[in-house]
Chains A and B, each alone.
Chain A
């Protein structure tokens, strides 16, 4: 399988983030994480709940960019989602405009909060998500612009803020990280095929804990078939992670 793309390796890494989650809502916030969550449900995590992106839990596989399947499971308006968030039965994979060494994430603004250089979305549900249920991050452009020594506005809470936060994985276009380093600091777990540890270090704006780094796993034949034929036949994944 020499023709496996970087985007496909990333999708597998995202799917792996949901391994062991059981009957919880998987909330991926971008294309490759969506592909990963749907793949996880089709293979090793069949009990995951997935939303159609509006207000319905849906059963069955569906492709990126396609209409969600008609098989509905439950109505989940925002009110119900908010309850579920604080209840804890959810694993969200959010984006991050900035993320720091202890997993603090920023989606609010760049620069001084009172008069920012750039205003982004706002904290949205990131503060509540991170203290309530498992949270992972997806960064399709691993760089020192995103991996910064200190985020400008802590939206998603990191490991050094005095509260319990069940942070899981940080999946990027270069590798997979977690917060298992000393004091809850960021640790490199694996690099994607073709990526070196030094490359990841160079794209990270703080000291990364590095020990026993392996290569990210490749998709199985069946996973590759599901990705290419069922879950992303239009190959939207390459738009988020261009081929090397």
Chain B
């Protein structure tokens, strides 16, 4: 059975107030075309779980986020994410700032239908000071108390892979799967975008997403832009710089939004092309 959908069809299945997990890592292989589709929607009050990058920044800037669960938010080559910083400085979002291993543990617990998983990570730090929902658990075998990381149940997960078939089997061709399989398994419904739909998924050991984890598949060439999607393309550094510069100034940001984020995905991809030809022309 084919699970092919468009970005708009995915967003139509989401609801305000949902908890949404976003795969990738920092500014690497993020399902950006799905994020952009959310920006165009009237969804709001989302809880977003992410190894955060521009996905988090864009959703915060658009006022879509009620609460964030994250270990970090970074653009990698630009360490700090200015839109995320703006949201935090304004006190505009609730946060659960966890150790990044705790985020993995929460997703893993949800994917295994366990209420929590124990860890040492977080103990002694202010993670447990500011997230008062966290509790410790006694080691029944007599060791020291451990932190009980609660399951991070996701209503939906969004991930972007290099290739997939129409039924939702998918492969990563870059250096790292990140935690995309856990995001899919922790979710009620996982939506997967990819560079290409194909029946030739390549090397077996790279096919780490199996169709039972996936509810919908979107063919989205350039769908991770401006984050990395190695080896299909690397991060668009000039564009990321443009994004980060704009996010630091309300007027520049309004212009950035008007130019890149108001139209369809096709409009976005065209605007990015134009951005690069203008740069080329200016430097010639």
Interface residues of chain A, those whose CB is within 8 Å of chain B, are 54-56, 77-79, 82, 85-86, 108-109, 113-128, 130-132, 153-157, 161-163, 165
Contacts and interface: CB of A to CB of B under 8 A. Distances in A.
Interface stretch (B153-161, B170-178, B212-220, B237-245): B170-178
B226 interface: no
Given A55-B175, A114-B130, 6 more contacts: A119-B88, A122-B72, A124-B100, A127-B122, A128-B101, A157-B124
A125 B99 contact: yes
B98 A123 contact: yes
B97 A123 contact: yes
Contact of B125 (A114, A116, A121, A127): A127
B176 to A, nearest CB: 4
Nearest to B85: A119
Interface stretch (B73-81, B190-198, B270-278): B73-81
A161 B127 CA distance: 13
A114 B123 CA distance: 20
Contact of A77 (B97, B119, B178): B178
Please report whether the interface of chain A is mostly helix, strand, loop or mixed according to DSSP: loop
A128 B121 contact: yes
Contacts of B80: 119-121
Contacts of A115: 88-91
Contact of A163 (B25, B98, B123): B123
A123 B128 CA distance: 12
B15 to A, nearest CB: 27
B203 interface: no
Contact of B179 (A56, A79, A124): A79
Contact of B88 (A116, A127, A131, A155): A116
Contacts of A120: 80
B176 A132 contact: no
A107 to B, nearest CB: 9
Given A77-B177, A79-B179, A123-B71, A113 B125 contact: no
A207 to B, nearest CB: 23
Interface of B: 25, 52, 70-74, 79-80, 84-85, 88-91, 97-102, 104, 119-127, 129-130, 175-179
B119 A124 contact: no
A128 B120 contact: yes
B124 A122 contact: no
B99 A154 contact: no
Contacts of A121: 72-74, 79-80
B100 A125 contact: yes
B44 to A, nearest CB: 21
B240 to A, nearest CB: 17
Contacts of A154: 124-126, 129
A158 to B, nearest CB: 8
Contacts of B123: 127, 131, 157, 163
Given A119-B84, A128-B121, A54 B176 contact: yes
8 contacts: A55-B175, A78-B176, A122-B73, A123-B125, A128-B100, A128-B121, A128-B122, A163-B124
Nearest to A119: B88
Nearest to B121: A128
Contacts of B70: 122
Contacts of B71: 122-125
A211 to B, nearest CB: 28
A123 B131 CA distance: 13
Contact of A86 (B25, B120, B126, B177): B120
B11 to A, nearest CB: 27
A78 B97 contact: no
B97 A108 contact: yes
A118 B79 CA distance: 14
Contacts of B73: 121-122
Given A78-B176, A86-B101, A123 B79 contact: no
A157 B79 CA distance: 22
Contact of B101 (A109, A114, A125, A157): A125
Contacts of B104: 79, 82
A126 B99 contact: yes
A108 to B, nearest CB: 6
A156 to B, nearest CB: 8
Contact of B124 (A86, A114, A117, A131): A131
Nearest to B86: A119
A154 to B, nearest CB: 4
Nearest to A157: B124
Contact of B120 (A55, A77, A109, A131): A131
Contacts of A117: 89
Interface centre among A116, A119, A126, A127 (most CB of B within 10 A): A127
